C-alpha cells in the first residue's frame, strides 16, 4: 500500500529540480521512489505486465525530458500518474475497437436500492469473494479503486489524474460498487441484512 | 434515530472516501455520528472498508531491474543526441583551433573555417542519422515513402489539454502528420506546404524556433521524413 507524506512530495520536488539539470543519480532515486506506483497503476489500467513496464519507461522519459515543466501547484505523484494515464490511453487507443470499454459515468447515486449494504457476517469469506469479484470489473473501474485504496488519493486528486470532473469520479466509484453486487450476491453475500 | 433519505444519500456519497481516509474532517465527523445513530450507515461504511482492504491486499508484482536498464539506455541515447547538437559550437572552436595549429599559416582563415564547418557538419549529420535510424525504420515500415518532407517533431507537454492543443495547431495551420514514436513524439506538418523544398524548410525552421518556449510542447525539433504515414 502506498501512502505519500508531504515530506515524500518535497523530496520528489527536490529530485525533479536535479533531474531538470540532467542529474542521472537523481533520476535513479526518483525511479526508485515512484516506478512501482506507475507500474501498479498501469497494470490495473492495461491488464498487461509487459505493456505496463513500457508505460513506466515512457512516463519516466517524460519526467527526464520535462522535469522543469512540473507545475508547483500539484503533487508530484498526481502529476506522474496523470502522465501514466495519458500513456495508457495511447496504448488503449492502439488496441482493436472491440477491446474498448463502454463506461456508464452517469449512474444515479440516489438509486438506493442498488447500494444496499452486503451482508458482512463472514468477514474472511467476504474478503475472498470481493477479491474474486473485483476481477470482473472493467479495467477503468479497477484503476479508480486502485487509486482510492492503494494510492489513497482523494476525489479531487483522482479527478486530476484521470482528467474528469469530481462528479464523474464519484459516479465511477458508485458504479463499481453496483457492478460488484451481482457477483457478491451469487457468492452468497446478498444485500439488506443490516438495513 | 435512523438516517432519513437525504442523509442516506449523503452517506452513500461520503462512505467510499471515509474508508480511504481522505474525507475532509467535518464530513468525517458527520459520518462518525451517522454510524452511531444507524446500523445501516455502519454496514455501508463496513462494505467500503472491505472493498478497500481487498484492493490493498491485491498482489503487487515486482518491477524487473531490466526496466530501469532500458530506461537508462533510452536516456543515454537521447541525451547524447542533444549533447552533440549543443556542443557543435564548442566543437567548432576546438576543431578550428586544432586545424589552425596543424596548418599554421598555410591556409587562409576563411578556408580553414570552411573546412572545419564541413567536417563538423559531417560529424553531426552522421551522428543524427545513426541516432534516428530506428525511428526512420519504423516510419518506413509504416508505409511512409516519397520525397523528403520537413516536419516538426515534438513531444507534447503532459499537462497540455486537447482543446489547447487543437487551438494551437489551428492557429499555426498545423496538423498531426504521424506518431507517436516509442517515446511519444509526434510529427506536425503544415497544412499547405510550400512548393519548393527550401521554402518549406525555412518555414518549418521558423516555426520550430517560435515553439521553443511554448508550454504545450516539451521538445521541438525539425525532422525530414520520407512522405508520411
Contact A109 B22 (CB under 8 A): no
Contact A134 B54 (CB under 8 A): yes
Q: Please check the confidence at residue A65 and state whether its pLDDT lies above 50.
A: yes
Q: What is the pTM of this model?
A: 0.60
Give residues 180 to 219 of B whose Cβ lies within 8 Å of A. 180, 182-184, 215, 218-219
Q: In angstroms, what separates the C-alpha of A20 from chain B's closest C-alpha?
A: 12
Contact B22 A155 (CB under 8 A): yes
Structure-block grid coordinates of residue A179: 457492478
What pLDDT, on the 0 to 100 scale, is given for residue A74? 81
Cβ-proximal residues to B211 (8 Å cutoff; 6+ apart), any chain? B152, B154, B217, B220
Q: Can you tell me the mean pLDDT for B127-146?
A: 40
Residues of B with Cβ-Cβ distance to A130 under 8 angstroms: 50-51, 54
Between chain A and chain B, how many beta carbons pairs sit less than 8 Å apart? 153
pLDDT > 90: percent of chain B: 18
Query: In terms of pLDDT, which residue wins out, A53 or B128?
Result: A53
Determine the residue of chain A that is closest to B218 in CA distance: A66
What pLDDT, on the 0 to 100 scale, is given for residue B146? 46
Q: Can you tell me the mean pLDDT for B19-35?
A: 95
Q: In angstroms, what separates the C-alpha of A150 from chain B's closest C-alpha?
A: 5
**CA A155/CA A161 separation, integer angstroms:** 10
In this structure, of A73-82, A96-105, B171-180, the range with the lowest mean pLDDT score is A96-105
Q: Please check the confidence at residue B27 and state whether its pLDDT lies above 50.
A: yes
Residues of A with Cβ-Cβ distance to B81 under 8 angstroms: none
Q: Can you tell me the mean pLDDT for B177-196?
A: 77
What pLDDT, on the 0 to 100 scale, is given for residue A72? 73
Q: Is the dihedral of CA B194, B195, B199, B202 positive or negative?
A: positive
The separation between the first and the last C-alpha atoms of chain B, rounded to the nearest angstrom, is 67
Beta strands in chain B (DSSP E): 148-156, 174-178, 185-190, 217-226
Give residues 103 to 162 of B whose Cβ lies within 8 Å of A. 155, 157-159
Determine the residue of chain A that is closest to B23 in CA distance: A154
Residues of B with Cβ-Cβ distance to A194 under 8 angstroms: 39-40, 42-43
**CA B5/CA B224 separation, integer angstroms:** 65
What pLDDT, on the 0 to 100 scale, is given for residue B29? 96
Alpha helix stretches (DSSP H) within A21-67: 24-46, 49-66
Residues of A with Cβ-Cβ distance to B87 under 8 angstroms: none
Q: Please check the confidence at residue B15 and state whether its pLDDT lies above 80.
A: yes
Could you write out the DSSP letters of every residue in A84-114? HHHHHHHHHHHS-GGGS----TT--TT-GGG
Element (H, E) at A78: helix A76-94
**Secondary structure class of B87 (helix, strand, coil):** coil
Contact A112 B8 (CB under 8 A): yes
- Which band of pLDDT confidence, cut at 50, 70 and 90, is reported for residue B149? confident
What pLDDT, on the 0 to 100 scale, is given for residue A169? 93
Residues of B with Cβ-Cβ distance to A109 under 8 angstroms: 9, 12-13
Choosing among B11, B13, B47, B80, which should be mutated to test the A contact, i.e. which has the most A CBs within 10 A? B47
Amino acid at each position: 500500500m502506498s501512502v505519500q507524506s508531504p515530506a515524500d512530495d518535497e523530496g520528489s520536488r527536490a529530485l525533479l529540480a536535479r533531474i531538470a539539470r540532467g542529474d542521472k543519480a537523481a533520476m535513479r532515486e526518483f525511479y526508485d521512489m515512484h516506478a512501482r506506483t506507475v507500474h501498479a497503476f498501469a497494470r490495473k489500467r492495461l491488464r498487461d505486465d509487459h505493456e505496463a513496464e513500457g508505460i513506466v519507461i515512457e512516463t519516466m522519459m517524460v519526467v527526464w525530458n520535462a522535469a522543469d515543466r512540473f507545475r508547483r501547484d500539484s503533487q508530484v505523484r498526481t502529476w506522474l500518474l496523470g502522465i501514466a494515464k495519458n500513456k495508457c490511453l495511447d496504448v488503449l487507443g492502439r488496441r482493436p475497437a472491440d477491446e474498448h470499454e463502454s463506461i456508464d459515468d452517469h449512474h444515479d447515486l440516489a438509486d438506493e436500492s442498488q447500494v444496499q449494504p452486503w451482508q458482512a457476517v463472514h468477514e474472511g469469506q467476504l474478503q475472498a469473494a470481493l477479491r474474486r469479484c473485483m476481477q470482473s470489473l472493467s479495467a477503468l473501474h479497477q484503476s479508480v479503486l486502485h487509486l482510492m485504496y492503494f494510492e489513497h488519493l482523494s476525489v479531487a486528486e483522482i479527478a486530476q489524474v484521470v482528467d474528469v470532473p469530481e462528479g464523474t469520479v464519484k459516479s465511477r466509484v458508485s458504479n463499481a460498487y453496483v457492478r460488484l453486487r451481482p457477483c457478491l450476491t451469487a457468492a452468497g453475500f446478498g444485500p439488506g441484512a443490516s438495513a | 434515530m435512523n438516517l432519513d433519505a437525504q442523509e442516506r444519500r449523503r452517506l452513500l456519497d461520503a462512505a467510499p472516501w471515509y474508508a480511504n481516509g481522505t474525507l475532509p474532517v467535518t464530513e468525517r465527523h458527520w459520518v462518525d455520528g451517522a454510524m452511531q445513530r444507524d446500523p445501516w450507515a455502519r454496514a455501508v461504511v463496513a462494505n467500503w472498508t472491505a472493498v478497500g482492504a481487498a484492493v490493498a491486499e491485491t498482489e503487487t508484482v515486482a518491477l524487473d531491474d531490466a526496466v530501469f536498464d532500458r530506461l537508462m539506455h533510452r536516456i543515454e541515447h537521447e541525451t547524447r543526441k542533444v549533447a552533440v547538437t549543443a556542443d557543435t559550437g564548442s566543437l567548432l572552436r576546438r576543431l578550428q583551433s586544432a586545424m589552425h595549429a596543424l596548418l599554421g599559416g598555410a591556409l587562409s582563415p576563411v578556408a580553414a573555417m570552411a573546412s572545419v564547418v564541413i567536417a563538423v557538419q559531417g560529424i553531426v549529420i552522421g551522428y543524427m542519422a545513426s541516432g534516428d535510424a530506428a525511428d526512420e525504420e519504423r516510419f518506413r515500415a509504416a508505409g511512409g515513402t516519397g520525397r523528403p518532407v520537413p516536419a516538426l517533431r515534438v513531444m507534447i507537454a503532459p499537462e497540455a489539454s486537447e482543446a489547447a492543443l487543437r487551438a494551437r495547431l489551428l492557429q499555426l495551420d498545423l496538423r498531426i502528420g504521424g506518431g507517436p514514436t516509442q517515446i511519444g513524439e509526434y510529427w506536425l506538418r503544415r497544412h499547405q506546404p510550400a512548393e519548393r523544398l527550401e521554402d518549406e524548410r525555412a518555414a518549418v525552421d521558423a516555426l520550430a524556433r517560435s515553439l521553443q518556449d511554448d508550454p504545450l510542447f516539451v521538445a521541438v525539433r525539425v525532422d525530414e521524413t520520407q512522405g508520411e504515414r
